Copies of this chain bind each other. A is one copy, B any other.
Amino acid sequence: MPRTITAFSNPLVKRIQSLRDKRHRREEGLFLAEGLRILTEARETGRVPRYLFFAAPSARHPLVSALVDAVEGSGGEAIETSEAILSKLSGKDNPQAVVGAFDTFDSRLEDLDRTTSPIWLVAERLRDPGNLGTILRTGDAVGAGGLVLIGDSVDPFSTEAVRASMGALFTVPLVRASWDQFLPWLRSGPGQLVGLSLRTDNHYRHADYQTPTFLLTGNEAQGLPAEIEAECDLLVKMPMLGKADSLNAAVATAVMAYEVLAHAQNRG
């Protein structure tokens, strides 16, 4: 049976709310995700929140019941609460019907099976949580095998990244690794490393992509460092016809990912 919490001063409410802060996420090993659609998607991939908060009026919704059953069946706790507390937990004026606190998770490079997809995403020192979430969402759409985050990247469990991913955090395998871990792993099997760069004349539309393609996106402000570009099997550039010589990192990744997907589907 769900318990009921309606006091803002409740210690669990404070603890869950604190997960919007990176330090607390790390200490607790928990992160926040909101929304019936996203939590249901998580449940379908086998991830169930340790704590589930839901508003009383939504308790009869069949998807909410299913979540409550799953949480209680897995030893977690379901908590009926007020909309005001959901608002406080999510930091939004119009909160979703459910907020969950999930155990953080990571895949390891050794867990990735590169035969499962022709496209893999790799991002290096990504700084913006919205970009990270958007890249995961694109990864889901193109059927990417996973996303490898290289170096000092933003926390994929930040509330903003989880939100922007629209649930893809749960569906796209995510690995955090250093470049020195990633490169030997990549070279231990098949895989073409393709870097987005301004320092090449290879048009992205006329390049020879090979399966599996590992698509490498650099830091938002600086792009890829020269020593990482030097390890790429192929550098490609996209046309930039405007005044500024740049694209949003998540946008550039998506245009490239759909290009590689088109090549893979033409071969397939």
- Chain A residues with CB under 8 Å of chain B are 41, 44-45, 130, 134, 137-143, 164, 166-168, 171-172, 205, 238-244, 246-248, 250-251, 254-255, 258, 261-262, 265
* Contact call A244/B41, Cβ cutoff below 8 A: yes
**Nearest CB in chain B: distance from A107 CB, A:** 17
Contacting residues, chain B, for A41 (C-beta < 8 A): 243-244
Can you identify 8 A-B contacts, CB atoms within 8 angstroms? A134-B250, A137-B246, A137-B247, A166-B248, A239-B265, A247-B254, A248-B254, A250-B250
Contacting residues, chain B, for A142 (C-beta < 8 A): 239, 241-242
Q: How long is the Cα–Cα vector from A205 to B265 in the complex, in angstroms? A: 11
Not counting A138-B247, A171-B244, a sample of 4 additional A-B residue pairs whose C-beta atoms are within 8 angstroms of each other reads A141-B239, A141-B241, A239-B261, A255-B258
Contacting residues, chain B, for A164 (C-beta < 8 A): 248
The 7 closest A-B pairs by CB, nearest first: A140-B242, A143-B241, A251-B254, A171-B243, A255-B258, A134-B248, A141-B242
Q: How long is the Cα–Cα vector from A142 to B172 in the complex, in angstroms? A: 29
Contacting residues, chain B, for A171 (C-beta < 8 A): 242-244
Q: From B140, B238, B246, give the contact of A244 (CB < 8 A).
A: B140
Q: How long is the Cα–Cα vector from A137 to B251 in the complex, in angstroms? A: 10
* Contact call B250/A248, Cβ cutoff below 8 A: yes
